[in-house]
Amino acid sequence: MPRVVTDRAAFRETAAAAPDGARVPVEVRVAVDDPFDAYRRARGDTGVFYETTGGQNGWGYFATDPECLASVEEGVFDALRDLLADESLARGDCDVPYPCGAFGWLSYDAVRELETLPDDAVRDRDLPRLQFGVFPTVAAWEAADAREGEVTLRVCSCPRVTDPEADYEAAREAALALARDAAEGTPAPVEPRVRAEEVRFSGDCTRAEFAERVRRVKRYVRDGDTFQTNVSQRLVAPAAVHPVEAYDALREVNPAPYSGLVEFPGVDLVSASPELLLDANPEGRLLTEPIAGTRPRGGDPDEDAALERELTGDEKERAEHAMLVDLERNDLGKVSRFGSVEVSEYRRVDRYSEVMHLVSLVEGDLRGDHDTVDAIAATFPGGTITGAPKPRTMEIIDEVEATRRGPYTGSMFALGFDGRATLNIVIRTLVRYGDEYGLRVGAGVVHDSDPDAEYEETLDKGRALVTALDAALDRTRLSVEGDGD
C-alpha cells in the first residue's frame, strides 16, 4: 500500500521559502519486489530505467511520463544549459538525489561542437546528437535495498509551484498513481520489431579489415600523432528481442554499475555500461572513473586469479592505464579548483561476467566560474574511449572507422535541477534503430598492439550483450560474418 511521506504543511513551508517557479517534491513510498519488475508494470511507450550503483549515489531510478521530450541536432550543450537555467529544485526534506530531472542520452557526435573533425565516417543513422525527456515524477530506490530483497520505492513528483494547495494535490496524485502502477499494475505485453528463428550478428568489417584498422593506427602511433586510439567495429543483428526483454536478461547476465534502458521515439538503448564519465553533486564535487585494461574472465577461480595477475602485471596495460588516468586528470583540471584534482583510487580490478578491467577514481572540485554543463563539456567524450591526445585521436577515429558512432561512447545521463549530474559512457550497449540492434565494441590500440588480439578483445566485450539476447531469445549466438575462423 503506497504511503504519502510529504505532508501538506511541509510542502507549503518548502514552497514558501523557494524561488519563484521552483519544483518542490511530494514523496510517496511503496514496497516492491524488484525495481525492474516495477518499471515493467508502470511503463508506457516512453521511459527510462537508470541504475547508478557506483559513484556518489548508489541509487537507481525509473520514470515513465515525460513532461516534454526533446531531440537536438545542433547546439546540444547550449540546449542543456538553457534547460538547467529554467529549472530549480527546492527539495525540503527529500534526500532522493534525483526526485525529478532530465534523463536521456548524448551522442558521441556531439563532440563535433567541441572539436573540428573530418567527415570521413558515414552518418548512416538518422539520430540526433541529444535526446532527453523532462520527468517531473521519478521512482527511486537505494541500491543496497535492492540487494537485500524487498525494495522501498520512493516515488517523487515535483511540480513547479504556483498554487501550493492545488500543486500539492496534483503532485500527490501523480506520485500515488505511479506507485500504484509500480506495485500493482499489469505489465503490458512487449513484441519484438521483427520475428526471426535465428539471429546472426554481422560486422561492418572482417577480421582482416579490422586488422588493417589497427595497423593504420599503429602507423599514426609510430609517426607521433597519437599514443593510443580506441578503434571499434559495429555488429548488427535483427531486433528479434524487445528492448525490455533484452535489458531484463542483461541485468541477470551482466549487472553493471551504470546500466540502463532508454525507450524513446525512434531509438532504444540497452546498456550494461561499467564506466562513469562524470558524477557531479550540488556542492560541486566531481568524479570520473576511467577504465583501461581488459582481460577475459577465467573458467574457474584459479584461471581467473592468473588472468588478474597477468592484467595487473602487463606493462602495456599499466602504461596505457596511467596515460588515460592522466588524461582524465587534465580534463577535470580544466574546470576544477586549483590543487583539488586527485587520484583517490588507482588501478583496482573490477570483474564482470565476461571480462575484468583496471579502474581508477579521479576527483576534483568544480571551480566557481564554471557550471555542470562546463564540466560535462570538459570531460566529454571520455578519454578511455577515444585515446590520447584526444583531439588528434578523434580525427584518426573518424578516418579509420566506417560509420559515425552515434550513441556509442556518448553518454546516458541524469541531470538534476540542483546542479547534480550522472553520465555513464555508452559502452556494452545495444542500440535499437529501426528493425536492427547495433552493438559497437572497441579496443585501445598502442604501438605494440597485436591486431588479432585486439579483434578478440572486441568480441570479449560484446559477448555479455549477445549472451543476454541469447537468454531472451534462446537462439542468438555470437557470430561475425566474414570472420573466416
Looking at the fold, whether 303 and 373 belong to one and the same domain comes out as yes
Distance CA 287, CA 278 (A): 6
pLDDT level of residue 340 (50, 70, 90 thresholds): very high
134 is a domain residue: yes
Instruction: Output the nine-digit C-alpha cell for 195.
Output: 520475428
Residue 149 one-letter amino acid = G
Instruction: Output the nine-digit C-alpha cell for 162.
Output: 504556483
Instruction: Output the nine-digit C-alpha cell for 425.
Output: 559512457
pLDDT tops 50 at residue 480: no
Q: How many domains does the chain have?
A: 2
Residue 252 one-letter amino acid = E
Distance CA 330, CA 336 (A): 10
Residue 224 φ then ψ, to 5°: 90, 10
Using CB atoms within 10 Å of the CB of residue 191, give its burial: 0 to 12 exposed, 13 to 18 middle, 19+ buried. Answer: exposed
Looking at the fold, whether 293 and 178 belong to one and the same domain comes out as no
Looking at the fold, whether 357 and 387 belong to one and the same domain comes out as yes
Looking at the fold, whether 380 and 282 belong to one and the same domain comes out as yes
DSSP secondary structure letters along 176-230: HHHHHHHHHPPPPP---SS--S--B-EESS-HHHHHHHHHHHHHHHHTTS-SEEE
The string of pLDDT tens digits covering residues 349-382 is: 988 877 899 999 999 999 999 999 999 999 999 9
Give the pLDDT of residue 148. Answer: 64
Looking at the fold, whether 111 and 216 belong to one and the same domain comes out as no
322 is a domain residue: yes
Looking at the fold, whether 150 and 295 belong to one and the same domain comes out as no
Give the pLDDT of residue 320. Answer: 86
pLDDT tops 50 at residue 3: yes
**Residue ranges in 104-191 assigned as alpha helix (H):** 143-148, 164-184
345 is a domain residue: yes
Show the domain range for 456. 202-239+276-409+433-473
329 is a domain residue: yes
Mean pLDDT of 62-72: 97
pLDDT level of residue 470 (50, 70, 90 thresholds): confident
Distance CA 347, CA 308 (A): 12
Give the pLDDT of residue 254. Answer: 83
26 is a domain residue: yes
Identify the residue whose cell numbers are 586469479: 305
41 is a domain residue: yes
Identify the residue with better confidence: 477 or 218: 218
pLDDT exceeding 90 applies to what percent of the chain? 77
Looking at the fold, whether 14 and 145 belong to one and the same domain comes out as yes
The string of pLDDT tens digits covering residues 131-184 is: 999 999 999 999 877 666 789 999 999 999 999 999 999 999 999 999 999 999
Give me Rg for the CA atoms of the chain: 22
Residues in the chain: 485
Looking at the fold, whether 92 and 235 belong to one and the same domain comes out as no
Give me the CATH number covering residue 83: 3.60.120.10
67 is a domain residue: yes
Nearest C-alpha neighbor of 464 from the set 211, 206, 247: 247
Instruction: Output the nine-digit C-alpha cell for 213.
Output: 584498422
Distance CA 208, CA 216 (A): 12
Q: Are 205 and 364 in contact (CB under 8 A)?
A: no
pLDDT tops 50 at residue 482: no
Looking at the fold, whether 123 and 216 belong to one and the same domain comes out as no
Distance CA 391, CA 395 (A): 7
In the structure, how many helices (H) and strands (E) does the chain have?
Answer: 12, 23
Looking at the fold, whether 72 and 138 belong to one and the same domain comes out as yes
DSSP secondary structure letters along 77-105: HHHHHHHHHT--B--TT---S-SSEEEEE
83 is a domain residue: yes
- Crossing angle of helices 301-313 and 315-333, in 10° steps, is 60
Burial 382-396 (b: 16+ CB within 10 A, else e): bbbbbbbebebbbbb
Residues 6 or more apart whose CB falls under 8 angstroms from that of 118 comprise 395, 398, 399
Distance CA 123, CA 420 (A): 32
Residue 88 one-letter amino acid = S
Mean pLDDT of 194-223: 89
The strand pairing partners of 270, in sequence order, are 261, 430
Looking at the fold, whether 82 and 223 belong to one and the same domain comes out as no
Nearest C-alpha neighbor of 288 from the set 423, 135, 404, 150: 423
Residues 6 or more apart whose CB falls under 8 angstroms from that of 69 comprise 46, 131, 132, 133, 264, 265
Instruction: Output the nine-digit C-alpha cell for 228.
Output: 593510443
Q: Kindly report the average pLDDT of the chain as a whole number.
A: 92
Which secondary structure element, helix H or strand E, spans residue 139, and what is its range? Answer: strand 137-142
DSSP secondary structure letters along 29-62: EEEES-HHHHHHHH--SSEEEEEE-STTT-EEEE
Q: Are 196 and 240 in contact (CB under 8 A)?
A: yes
pLDDT tops 70 at residue 479: no
Distance CA 164, CA 11 (A): 8
pTM for the complete prediction?
Answer: 0.92
Looking at the fold, whether 374 and 465 belong to one and the same domain comes out as yes
